[in-house]
Amino acid sequence: MTRLLPAHVLAGAAVAGLACADAARVAVGPSRLVLLAAFGALAAAAVPQPVRLAVVALLVAGLGWWWGSTRLAALDRSPLAPHVGEANWFAVEVTAEPRVGRFDQRIFGRAHRFGTVPLDERVELELPLGRAPPQGARIRALAVVKTPRGASAGSGFDERTWLRRQGVHVVLHVDAWQLDGRRGGLAGAGDRLRAWLRRASVRGLRGERRALVDGIVLGDDNGLSPELKTAFRRSGLYHLLAVSGQNVVLISVGVLALALLLGLPRVAGHVGALAAILAYVLAVGPQPSVIRAAVAGCAVSVAWLVGRPRDGWHALLLAALVLLAWNPYALFDPGFQLSFVAVVAIFVLAPWFREVLEGYPLPGSLRLAVSVSAACGLATAPVLALRFGAVPVLGILANALVEPVVGVLLGLAFAAAAVEPIAPGLAAALAWLDGWIAAYVALCARLVAAVPFAQLRGIPAVVATVVPLVAAAVAWRRFRAWGV
């Protein structure tokens, strides 16, 4: 078991303080904050060593609470909110790809000008179906400022609250737009990396296979049919369409292996892995799962470079600290909740499940896949039941079927992207093989989803959530009682 270290306590205190800002905000001026911090530092220096860590942790939690309150105040500020109902020309930078619905398409952007008034505010663009500006485009748009939709009676989805937690308070209903250039800097580099990865990793693929490889590599499900998305949800495989730690691990291992083949020192390999991870984050965007995985991956390389042991719990706390420091509202995001709950389950429950399966005649890779899937499925079931009202009960089976090939799919996609500039034919061959693996993953999702009880809702979903938790608690108690 991992020993509790001061670094764990302080990182956990900072995370707790940031989370407190979601419940209640504190308003402290800079001068008063400096005085309080100085008083806390003096108090920590005056108390005995055993108590000092607790005092410092309280001080860190307080600073986190203040910072979280400051960030929430900034996220809640909207210069455009008083102009709801007005029409004008906007200068907008498109920051994401369009999300296509049944009647319109919506795109996140950042408004830099309202008529002749400069500003800097996140917005959502609402456009009719058809042509849409690409990610990274700078456009001039004639639009009407609208308030987001509230909770709908049919789905219960509250778009207004969902957008507010991302710092978006108005929707721009676009009547006309024209391209005005492309953004530059790091964001522009990320756009180019994403476009290259999207093109080079699926060279020659078409249709559903191309869309599925895109979804797994880039976390983009826009190209998938509604029927296939539903199959992934019912089968418990939808997590494959969110960039995960597996993607980051493959990138890191690939760069380290390349450095080894080229005869470069290991230091160069870890520096290259850090650069590759950061480039991948730029390409796929700041999703909670990818930020968590990227922080953990960078922490591993940095730990090696400075000669410190790897610490999974510390990396997990650092990832939560980074995400909540940027946006404390992320605590309410289902992606944040599912990602962190799943990793905690891998740390805590998966080793026990693997020990339980030791006596069964299963290959080691399958035993690992089943134990990880069982741990994640058990831990995330309450979140799925509370947030979406549905629990996939055959997720362990579906993940056991596809887990052995997902790593191969990602490896082939990254390899195809790497060789495409110098060997397009080889890239096309790798993508062709990848397409067959994608077809197998889609087939597994559809077969498992076709089972009538693959997904449960309402009271059955609650039962499917509670019973395994109680059974796991009883089994764990007996397991500990036996002294195993």
Q: What is the pLDDT of residues 42-100, one digit of tens each?
A: 666 667 777 777 888 888 888 899 999 999 999 999 999 999 999 999 999 999 888 88
Across residues 208-212, what is the average pLDDT? 92
CA separation for the pair 90, 74 (Å, rounded): 22
* Per-residue pLDDT at 295: 75
Across residues 219-237, what is the average pLDDT? 87
The pair of three-digit structure tokens given for residue 61, joined into one six-digit string: 């939690």
* Per-residue pLDDT at 87: 92
With tokens 């309202």, the residue in question is 114
Q: What is the pLDDT of residues 187-202, one digit of tens each?
A: 888 888 888 888 898 8
Number of CB atoms found within 10 A of residue 400's CB: 18
Residue 47 contacts by C-beta under 8 Å, 6 or more apart in sequence? 55
* Per-residue pLDDT at 355: 78
Residue 469 contacts by C-beta under 8 Å, 6 or more apart in sequence? 378, 381, 382
Any idea of the CA torsion for 116, 117, 120, 125, to the nearest 10 degrees?
-60
- Ranking 33-37, 225-229, 380-384, 420-424 by mean pLDDT, the lowest is 33-37
Is residue 278 pLDDT above 90, yes or no? no
Q: What is the pLDDT of residues 370-396, one digit of tens each?
A: 777 778 877 888 888 777 777 888 887
Out of 77-91, 181-195, 216-230, 261-275, give the one with best mean pLDDT. 77-91
The pair of three-digit structure tokens given for residue 423, joined into one six-digit string: 């060997």
Residue intervals of the chain classified under CATH 2.40.50 are 81-183
Contact 280, 307 (CB under 8 A): no
Q: What is the pLDDT of residues 22-45, one digit of tens each?
A: 998 887 767 666 666 676 666 666
Across residues 98-126, what is the average pLDDT? 90
Q: What is the pLDDT of residues 239-258, one digit of tens each?
A: 888 777 667 777 777 777 77
CATH 3.40.1000 assigned to 81-183: no
Q: Which amino acid is at 109?
A: G
CA separation for the pair 215, 209 (Å, rounded): 10
CA separation for the pair 224, 227 (Å, rounded): 8
Sign of CA dihedral 326, 331, 332, 335: positive
* Per-residue pLDDT at 484: 46
Across residues 108-121, what is the average pLDDT? 92
CA separation for the pair 301, 310 (Å, rounded): 9
pTM: 0.81
